[in-house]
Amino acid sequence: MNMKDKLLQLKDQVLKQLVNTKDVSVLRNLEIKYLGRKGELTKILRSVVDMGDVEKKDIGKLANNIKTEVINKFAEVKNSILTKTVNQSFVDVTLPGKIIDHGHLHPVTQVQNELEDLFISMGFMVLDGPEVESDYYNFEALNMPPYHPARDMQDTFYLDHKNKEKKYDLVMRTHTSNVQVRAMQKYGVPLRCIVPGVVFRSEATDACHDHTFYQLEGLMIDKDISITNLIAVTKKVLNGIFKKEMEIRIRPGYFPFVEPAIEIDIKCTICNGKKCSACKNSGWLELLPAGMVHPNVLKYGGIDSKKYSGFAFGLGLTRLVMMKYGINDIRLFNSGDLRFLKQF
């Protein structure tokens, strides 16, 4: 093929490709391919120098004309692409804006805040405590030495950490009771505090048991505190949360750190006492184990048990939220499922 035909064929090829180009970056690549420093058209123009005089004149003129035509076509296509893009990205400022989804507090946190307000109104302070706890504060200072069978009631996760005696000594706290002796040591008597927080158990989960859940500990120590104070405070709080008179049931219980120990149950709000899976077919839900602080625990906390007495309770906060909102499976709380969470 002679040079003239080659040039005309190249021109056709470029123009055809330009007709189908809708994108600026594709256009730029074509420009480099044909008109760049090593472009196909540029190469031909450079080779004109080495041609004979007659050919140089004809081919040179043709090549220059084609180059001008191609450059103009590139500019035209670029313009039309840019105009279209601007038109497409036109913003109608009169359109209503997009609503941005706001998050909100988790239902457990919402109820925790309500409880904190109720307890603060009764003169309790709100304390925090470590979630990774020493075996001492989680068990031993609560009258549960290493051999004590009551430790089995709260199967736990031990951390891979040993003390000087080569014993595992750190646990994920199994209850908020770990703060009882800490609070006594730090604040002394009289003492009125609550401790909301997350706790962990090595637990086979079901509708009312999770491995990670919330409790709210309560502790009141002063002169002449009796179990009637405990029942009065509990009733006030439950009625305040459920906004109605709650039916409760009190049974004897057992925890080594309180004596006597009681279990305060509420009537299952999901089946209204008719028995369902959420209340393990009993009609009642175990919500609030409690009792009078054991003299040994007061001693660990540096408090004279002959002068002072106190009550303690460990409210199952996540269970309380289940009952308040009629949720029949505790595992929903940690599921992260927005369909569930958006309902609160």
- Where on the chain is the footprint of ligand FA5 (CB under 6 A)? 154, 175, 177, 201, 203, 209-210, 213, 215, 255, 258, 286-287, 289-291, 312-314, 316, 318-319, 330
Closest CB 166 distance from ligand FA5, rounded Å:
28
67 vs 319, beta carbon nearer ligand FA5? 319
Give me the least distance between CB of 170 and ligand FA5, in Å please.
18
Burial status of residue 174 (CB atoms within 10 A of its CB: 0-12, 13-18, 19 or more): buried
Q: CB-wise, 62 or 340, nearer to ligand FA5?
A: 340
Closer residue to ligand FA5 in complex, CB, 234/318 = 318
The nearest distance, CB 342 to ligand FA5, in angstroms, is: 23
Position closest to ligand FA5 via CB:
316
Q: Which residues does 184 contact at the CB level (< 8 Å), separation at least 6?
A: 191, 221, 298, 300, 301, 302, 303
Largest CA distance in the chain: 125
Residue 21 or 318: which CB sits closer to ligand FA5? 318
Tokens found for residue 259: 């004596």
- The residues that bridge with 231 in the sheet, in sequence order, are none
Of 263, 136, 153, 138, whose CA–CA distance to 202 is shortest?
A: 153
Number of helices and strands (H, E) in the chain?
A: 11, 9
Helical (H) or strand (E) element with 184: helix 179-187
- Provide φ and ψ at 193, rounded to 5°: -145, 155
Shortest distance (Å) from residue 89 CB to ligand FA5: 53
Closest contact distance (angstroms) between CB of 180 and ligand FA5 is: 7
Nearer to ligand FA5 (CB atom), residue 141 or residue 330: 330
